[in-house]
Amino acid sequence: MNAFPVEKPTLTDEKMARSGLKAFFKVAELWGLNPQQQKTLLGVQPQSTFYKYKNLDVKKLPKDTLERISYVLGIFKALQILLPNEKSSDEWVKKPNSAPIFGGGSALDRMLSGNVGDLYEVRKYLDAQRGGWS
């Protein structure tokens, strides 16, 4: 038995912010999102804040922004699992969908409402489709 506990490495706020934003902007690029759509998904209003994020010029992100990024990355991952064809998975978010939560619109339409709860609902829907959450 080790007399000295081993500390687990942790991400600093800055590393977490930069890593999360880098991943978010890569997904946004793959999905073909314009800057306004990206701002909405991030929950960011000021143009200056958005461009700071885009340039990874951050020390820490608000909890709401981290939550939004987490949902977007979870949606992306779930789509990669459900639709292994990269083009199909990236296009899915923009296609009309007859599932009741989308009402004939696309998942992106739902996510662009501006409410973090809608990101959660899309994530929950996809996780249920792959046998995760119910």
DSSP secondary structure string for all residues of 49-87: HHHHHHTT--S---HHHHHHHHHHHHHHHHHHHH--SHH
Residue 8 has pLDDT above 60, yes or no: no
The domain tally of the chain equals 1
Residues 84 and 57 sit within 8 Å (Cβ to Cβ): no
Residues 93 and 46 sit within 8 Å (Cβ to Cβ): no
Q: What is the pTM of this model?
A: 0.87
Residues 129 and 105 sit within 8 Å (Cβ to Cβ): no
pLDDT value of residue 12: 81
Asked whether residue 4 is assigned to any structural domain, the reply reads: no
Asked whether residue 17 is assigned to any structural domain, the reply reads: yes
Asked whether residue 61 is assigned to any structural domain, the reply reads: yes
How many angstroms separate the CA atoms of 82 and 132, rounded?
12
DSSP 26: H
Mean pLDDT of 17-36: 96
Asked whether residue 49 is assigned to any structural domain, the reply reads: yes
How many angstroms separate the CA atoms of 78 and 76, rounded?
6
Asked whether residue 119 is assigned to any structural domain, the reply reads: yes
Asked whether residue 134 is assigned to any structural domain, the reply reads: no
Residue 134 has pLDDT above 50, yes or no: no
Residue 130 pLDDT class (50, 70, 90 cuts) = confident
pLDDT value of residue 1: 52
Range of the domain at 94: 13-129
Asked whether residue 28 is assigned to any structural domain, the reply reads: yes
The pLDDT tens digits for 68-121 are 999 999 999 999 999 988 899 899 999 999 999 999 999 999 999 989 999 999
The pLDDT tens digits for 51-75 are 999 999 999 999 999 999 999 999 9
Nearest 10 degrees: CA dihedral of 83, 89, 94, 97?
0
CA distances from 107 to 63, 85, 91, 117 (A): 23, 18, 10, 13
